[in-house]
Amino acid sequence: MNISAATSADLPALLEIQHAAFRAEADQYGDCSIPPLRQTVDDLRADLATKTFLKATDETGQLLGSIRAFEKDGICHLEKLSVDPAHQRQGCGAQLLLAVESQFPHAIRFELFTGHRSEGNIRLYQKLGYRTVRAEEISCRLTLVHMEKRRTQPGTAS
């Protein structure tokens, strides 16, 4: 697996992967209007211009997934980790998370969120050192689980 910066040419395929990955999430909550499903290629293009946007590819160059992040006030905000459903639970998400963390050597903390029913996501994040810091009730069907990982040594994400 190779992790590298996404390019404008990647965006249509990465949007398809994002939609496929988040459709399964949306189904758990009975809400197909979640922001990742409403995004367009133009939205991804804006993210590409303003955020760190990494992609994962296999040995043949096939796109497997992506992640976006930005740093503000020493906090790295991780967004929209998306892995093609056919390649989930094979380490791609973990590699994307670790790779994007390494892009922010001065961040003192990494933050992300997921839905409360997204048990696989929560397990992955916990395995990588994230801990739940708060829950935010969005609706009777959705509670966001906010998680963070503090940097323990300068220049590392662990």
Residue 75 has pLDDT above 70, yes or no: yes
pLDDT score at 158? 52
Residues whose CB is less than 8 angstroms from the CB of residue 72 and which lie 6 or more positions away in sequence, other chains included: none
CA 73/CA 66 separation, integer angstroms: 24
Residue ranges of the domains in the chain? 2-150
In order of 49, 56, 57, 145, 151, the CA distances from 113 in angstroms are 23, 21, 24, 5, 18
Question: Which token pair is 73?
Answer: 């006030």
Q: What is the pLDDT of residues 78-137, one digit of tens each?
A: 999 999 999 999 999 999 999 999 999 999 999 999 999 899 999 999 999 999 999 999
pLDDT score at 139? 83
pLDDT score at 157? 52
Residues whose CB is less than 8 angstroms from the CB of residue 27 and which lie 6 or more positions away in sequence, other chains included: none
Q: What is the pLDDT of residues 148-157, one digit of tens each?
A: 999 876 555 5
Mean residue pLDDT of the chain comes to 93
- Classified by CATH at the fold level, domain 2-150 comes out as Aminopeptidase (3.40.630)
Do 67 and 98 contact (CB within 8 A), yes or no?
no
pLDDT score at 24? 85
Mean pLDDT of the region 35-48: 95
